[in-house]
Structure 1
Amino acid sequence: MSRLPEHLRRAARTRTDEAEKRARVALAKLAKAREPISFAAVARTAAVSTDFLYKHRELRFLIERHREKSGAGVGARHDPQPAESSTSAAVRALSARLSQQQREHREEIARLRKALEVAHGENLALRRKLAEYE
């Protein structure tokens, strides 16, 4: 397996660092405004995915700690399952959309092939008529 070029690794690291920074700022902003803190709220405010927040151990810990401090407690704690199920729902929706597009493309290809057959037939007929006049 080939390694990524250094410039791509740096770009990915920079993108991750910027996302982490946005998440920290969003968390502080929500806490300062005394708004409910959840993975979805932080993700929405920081323009990152909930998956990113759940996988980032430190951010996950901070969000859970803020959530517990705000009184949400253990009973309201969100499990990663909702994020996984929403991800699964997104995957299912995209898969259905892709299947629909594939069906439409197959139908269009069939129509175009039929039109091409007709055009070939007309072309052949015109060549035969032309051959008669020569």
Structure 2
Amino acid sequence: MSRLPEHLRQAVRARTEAAEKRARVALATMAKAREPISFAAVARTAAVSTDFLYRHLELRTLIERHRKKSGAGIGARPDPQPSESSTSAAVRALSARLSQQQREHREEVARLRKALEVAQGENLALRRKLAEYE
């Protein structure tokens, strides 16, 4: 795998830093307003992915600390803890949905082929009958 050119590395770094800053601002704003804090809520407010928040150790720790302070962790469903090698939940959900749609389309194509075969057979029979009358 080739290394990225310096200008692309800088762009990636700037984008990551901007996302981190948005997440920190969102977390501070939510804490100040005493809104319930969760990974999904912070991600939604900051316009970042939950995967980004989970993978960023410092942000993850801050969010978990705020959740414990606000008592959101008590009785609430805990957010999943993905491992470094796991794919994001969104990718898994979309993959499952795509697989289901592919199955449905294959079944529909099979039904349509069968109906086409029947229609072609009927068409052939009608043409033969018509040829007899001519």
**Aligned residues between the structures:** 100
> So what's the TM-score if we normalise by structure 2?
0.64
When you count helix as a share of all residues, which structure comes out higher? 1
The 5 Å alignment of 1:1-134 reads: 1-73=1-73, 76=76, 77-80=78-81, 84-94=88-98, 99=102
Q: CA deviation at 1:94?
A: 4.6
Unpaired runs of 5+ residues, structure 1, are: 104-134
> So what's the TM-score if we normalise by structure 1?
0.64
Hey, which bits of structure 1, 4+ residues long, moved more than 6 A? none
Residue range with higher mean Cα deviation, 41-50 or 85-94: 85-94
Q: CA deviation at 1:85?
A: 4.0
Deviations 1:41-94 (A, max 9, x none): 00000000000000000000000000000012365332325x944441123235
- Of all paired residues, the percent bearing the same amino acid is 68
Distance in 2 (alpha carbons) for counterparts of 1:35 and 1:12? 31
Letter in 2 for 1:73: G
Distance in 2 (alpha carbons) for counterparts of 1:13 and 1:74? 36
Unpaired runs of 5+ residues, structure 2, are: 107-134
